[in-house]
Each structure stands twice: as C-alpha cells, then as structure tokens.
Amino acid sequence: MTIPRQLPNAITVARIPLAIVFFVLLLLGGTYGLADLTVRWIAGVLFVFAISTDWVDGYLARRYDIVSDFGKLWDPIADKLLTGAGFIGLAILAELNWWVVVVILVREWGITIHRLMVAKEHVVAAAWMGKLKTAVQGVALGWALLPLHVVIGLWPWVVVTAVLMIIVLILTVASGIDYIVAQVRGSRRPV
C-alpha cells in the first residue's frame, strides 16, 4: 500500500486547528461541564481524538519510511499546542492549579524555543522520555477533560486526576532535565 508522502505532516498540521476548536469548546462547557455537559463531552472526545493522531502520524512516518525534518520539528509543536490548550483550559476553569500549568508550560515552550533556534543547524527529534511524557500527558488530560465524574462520582475522579497530574509533573520535569543534559553532552562532542 502506498500513502501520500505528506500524509503524516498533514495529520500533524491538522492538530493545530483542532487544538483551537477543542479549547473553545472546553471553555464553553465550563468547570466540570456545569455550563453545558454535552459540550464538555465533545471537548474531551475531540481532545482524545486529536492527541491520538500523534500516534497515527508517527506510525505512518516510520512504517512507510517518510520521516521528515518538518515532522520532527512540527509534531512536538502541534502536541504542545494541544496539550497546552488542555492545561491552560483546565486552569482557567479552576480544575488544575496554575503553578502546575506554569511549570509544565515553561518546560514545554522552553524546549520548543530551543528546538526552533537550532533548527537551521540540526533538527532535534523527541527522545524516548519526551515521548513517554507526551503519552502520559495525553492520558492524564484525556481523563481530566472527559466529565467522567458523572459516571464514577466527583471525588474519585478528582483524586485520580490529581495523581495523574503529579505523575505528569514529575515526567515533564525529568524529561526536561534529560533534554538539557543530552543537549549539553551533544554540544561538547568534537565535530
């Protein structure tokens, strides 16, 4: 089977407008979906769908050997826009503490800015720990965004969300440190 060479990149780019639509729907749904539970469900499902496309575009690029520098650079940016919209939206709705969001976003966008600054020299692909961090962020955000409290009760949902966010915070900081260490080691290698 042959797929268009640009399909993985098109999927990556499609995540950007999906992030905007998701963010607007999340805010319209309101805190815990109190403004409109249906809209909150739609926002949560849209997030889960959009973050799942990260796996799809990566799989297609590797499977059909069409990995590109564009994809290596823009895939993490699209992920950060989507997850950043989720974290910021949850903080605006007072479902997540702002300090957690600030720590996560400083790491995410600091590394993204670094990647953009060195892109002319070389493209920095995501390392395994960064990929794990993104996967765990996707799961944690999916859990927090879907109004599952209507099914399991508010307190169990809040407790699981808090535990998942602590894990996300630890992985985010650890993968940021791993990235910095790898970049420092790489810059010290003789050319």
Tell me: the pLDDT tens digits for 31-44? 999 999 999 999 99
Domain count, the chain: 1
pLDDT class of 189 with cuts at 50, 70, 90: low
Q: Is residue 2 part of a domain?
A: no
- C-alpha 75/C-alpha 188 separation (Å) is 27
* Number of helical (H) and strand (E) elements in the chain, helices listed first: 7, 0
Residue 28: give the domain boundaries.
7-188
Q: Is residue 148 part of a domain?
A: yes
The pTM score is 0.89
Q: Is residue 1 part of a domain?
A: no
Structure confidence by residue, pLDDT tens digits, 121-157: 766 666 788 889 989 999 999 999 999 999 999 999 9
Per-residue pLDDT, 48: 97
Q: Is residue 152 part of a domain?
A: yes
For the domain that residue 154 is a member of, what is the CATH number?
1.20.120.1760
Mean pLDDT of 103-123: 84
Task: List CB contacts of 176: < 8 A, sequence separation 6 or more.
Answer: 107, 110, 111
- C-alpha 74/C-alpha 8 separation (Å) is 11
